[in-house]
Amino acid sequence: MKYNLAVTIDKASGFCFGVVYAIEMAEDILDDEDYLYCLGDIVHNDEEVKRLTDKGLRIIDHEQLQLLHNEKVLIRAHGEAPSTYQLAMENNLTLIDASCPVVLKLQNRIKNSHDDKEHILIFGKHGHAEVIGLQGQTDGEALVFQDLSELDNAELPAKFTLYSQTTKSTDKFYHIKDQLLSRGYEVKANDTICRQVSNRYTDLEQFVVNFNKVIFVSGKKSSNGKVLYDVCKKYNDNSYFISTVEELELDWFDANDKVGICGATSTPMWLMEKVKAKLESF
């Protein structure tokens, strides 16, 4: 049986400019050199990471960085803590800095707040590369939380400054701000969420309602992938999360379905094209 699926890719999905910038920098160097070290996965998408490691990208962690000398190392879009730059100077490492401009601006704001002796709270995912870099601006003093319930029993100062990881939900950020105000705290809130990410919520709402089925393509490590998939699921219950083409299942579909494909800011367009081709072969 031929399913005859009508498949459309969301034109607003795919890499954000910060990821595009980092990948282009890596590819430019790998066109001329055999290898390039990258501190952490260049993007939270295993398929794209494999494509680049096949070209010579070498992914290392912070422990391996300490053993490296006289080499080039790419800093990905998520940014890094000041200690990384200090280590690079000590080990004579050349840093290719592809930190996202939005993240760099946020790092500077947090550092200025810390220098002004403000108490800082960061709404972000524990252990996330961007959040580690942000907390590093405060010498590790900022309090990181990913859910409001974590603050229920925390001893917070009466007055503090609230920041957010750039890929968090705007609605959730403002809900947290309102809840903290209602608890009697004096909150100076800085909405530092990337609009290229937050605008996708609205774009996705409008996209997914046009289809019988929705395939959301994202790496499992992607923070905004989880958030954006929740948006898909909220507005179209027949939404499915996949990371690779192999995860597609035929029994999700009915003949002549209209299928929409969308993805995270870390999902490459080539992977969504691959998913489209597979669906059209059913």
Q: Which of the residues are catalytic?
A: 130
What are the b/e assignments for 59-82, b being 16+ CB within 10 Å?
A: bbeeeebeebeebebbbbbbbbbe
H/E stretch holding 39: strand 36-39
Q: How far apart are CA 12 and CA 84, in angstroms?
A: 34
Cβ contact 109:192 at 8 Å = yes
Question: Residue 88's CB: how many other CB atoms inside 10 A?
Answer: 20
Structure tokens belonging to residue 24 = 């282009």
Q: Which residue reads 């489209």 in tokens?
A: 276
* Residue 32 buriedness (CB in 10 A; 0-12 / 13-18 / 19+): exposed
Closest CA to 78 of 29, 40, 111: 40
Structure tokens belonging to residue 39 = 């501190």
Cβ contact 19:265 at 8 Å = yes
Structure tokens belonging to residue 246 = 């192999």
Which residues are CB-contacts of 221 (< 8 A; sequence separation ≥ 6)? 41, 44, 45, 46
Residues paired with residue 187 on neighbouring β-strands, in sequence order: 160
Tell me the CB-side half-sphere exposure of residue 91, using CA atoms within 13 A: 20
End-to-end CA distance of the chain: 8
